[in-house]
Amino acid sequence: MNFETISIVGLGYIGLPTAAVFASRKKKVIGVDNNQKTVDTINRGQIHIVEPDLDMVVHAAVVDGFLRATTRPEPADAFLIAVPTPFKADHQPDMSYIESASKSIAPVLKKGDLVILESTSPVGATEQMADWLAEARPDLTFPQTHGEDSDIRVAHCPERVLPGHVLRELVQNDRVIGGITVKCSEAAAQLYKSFVQGECVVTSARSAEMCKLTENSFRDVNIAFANELSIICDKLSINVWELIRLANRHPRVNILQPGPGVGGHCIAVDPWFIVSAAPEEARLIRIAREVNDSKPEWVINKVKMALADYLLENPGKSAKDVTIACYGLSFKPNIDDLRESPAVNIVRKLRQLHTGRILAVEPNIEELPGSLDGVDLVEIEVADKLSDIKLLLVDHIPFHGCAPEQGAVIDTKGIW
């Protein structure tokens, strides 16, 4: 099999780095995205997302002529679909992006092509994608009906890179590859081996889908354990951070870190795909989601209690005289990504509840999102000086070792 031209559909946090890495291996890459602005930015050799070093790799790929972006799919030898799979209001997976991406590439497919679904997906999504392709192209044969003799090969290969380390992890991590048939898996493995230094491990499409969901659920369940411990320890007046350090000295214990909740587009989403597929059976996975989702409310209650204490100690004052400073807004430390951030939700809620001033410190951004109207973005020193209650939400490096000298402190990350 010769994959000379590779098309990546969806040029976001996963698709764009993947496109750039293929292009850096001198493959001809056609990136497809339905956002014209994104396409124009990339064709100028620039990027629209924040990821260390990605700007350089994309710039080189575009200047050297290996990467080009377009809004309309064009013929290629392999297609990688890397579009979002959010969940709907009832926590059911939203497959509409995969559906429209499949339907958009169907007209340009030709005999011998390989189609890979990279998006994190509910179990059965790859087969569903293959059915959409087959419906649109009755003139071609597909593996779900024609097995190893099909014209088109279809596989699932979930991404598993950590935002902030995408370029390194894309190359170094092992890949799980689930073809609808063995030949589908082999074709996909051959494609990835052009840049993956980790192992390409082959399985079925359904196991590959479940594997990705399992990885993120494993982390969610373990973070939920840490978050639940933090609430229990607070009730029992035990320092949870010390407790975890002590327990982790046991050679077979490795407790994760509590925090204000779980954010990002992955860990707080993917476990729901397991729950929706097996609602009766996925009891622990559902409860872990609920524990993590309820942590922001617990933090807000801590702030309310600190405010009540403050007013008790300062009888002349009312709530509107009290300034609350919130340290950190991103969904995890040392990034500027505010998507699905529990910190942002907490600050927004506090803005609605509190009549006094609310300050936010976020060293990684220049201006606040519209959802935080009425909050003032300030430097650390200003927040330290002006605030009566300090709420640490993200353990950014600049916040380490600078515990505020005055005021009530609520530290959700245990660094002060």
- Report, as residue numbers or ranges, the catalytic residues: 212, 266
Query: Binding string to ligand SAJ for residues 260 to 299, with x set by CB under 6 A, is what?
Result: --xxx-xx--------------------------------
* Residues 386-415 interacting with ligand SAJ (rule: CB under 6 A): none
The residue within the footprint of ligand SAJ, chosen from 192, 331, 372, 391 (CB under 6 A), is: 331
Residue 390 sits at φ, ψ, to 5 deg, of: -115, 125
The sign one gets for the Cα dihedral 225, 261, 354, 365 is: positive
Structure tokens at 362: 């976020």
Nearer to ligand SAJ, 162 or 308 (CB): 162
Three-state SS across 331-379? CCCCCCCCCCCHHHHHHHHHHHHCCCCEEEECCCCCCCCHHHCCCEECC
- The answer to the question of residue 230 lying near ligand SAJ (CB under 6 A) is no
DSSP 29-65: EEEE-S-HHHHHHHHTT--SS--TTHHHHHHHHHHTT
For the CB of residue 254, give the shortest distance to ligand SAJ in the complex, in Å: 10
Nearer to ligand SAJ, 14 or 306 (CB): 14
Place of tokens 């005021």: 407
Closest to 130 measured CA to CA, from 154, 96, 106: 154
For the CB of residue 159, give the shortest distance to ligand SAJ in the complex, in Å: 6
Structure tokens at 280: 């009766």
Nearer to ligand SAJ, 77 or 159 (CB): 159
Residue pair 212/176 in contact by the 8 Å Cβ criterion: yes
The residue within the footprint of ligand SAJ, chosen from 94, 127, 186, 215 (CB under 6 A), is: 215
Which one of the spans 105-113, 255-263, 309-317, 350-358 is the region binding ligand SAJ (CB under 6 A)? 255-263
The residue within the footprint of ligand SAJ, chosen from 216, 323, 387, 412 (CB under 6 A), is: 216
In angstroms, the CA 99 to CA 349 distance is: 35
In angstroms, the CA 121 to CA 132 distance is: 15
Spatial neighbors of 237 by CB under 8 A, at least 6 apart, are none
Q: Which residues pair with 361 in a beta bridge?
A: 327
For the CB of residue 210, give the shortest distance to ligand SAJ in the complex, in Å: 14
DSSP state of 226: H
Nearer to ligand SAJ, 226 or 319 (CB): 226
Query: Binding string to ligand SAJ for residues 153 to 182, with x set by CB under 6 A, is what?
Result: ------xxxxx-------------------
For the CB of residue 308, give the shortest distance to ligand SAJ in the complex, in Å: 27
The residue within the footprint of ligand SAJ, chosen from 286, 332, 348, 354 (CB under 6 A), is: 332
Closest to 23 measured CA to CA, from 8, 40, 1: 8
Which residues of the chain form contacts with ligand SAJ (CB under 6 A)? 120, 159-163, 215-216, 219, 223, 256-257, 259, 262-264, 266-267, 331-332
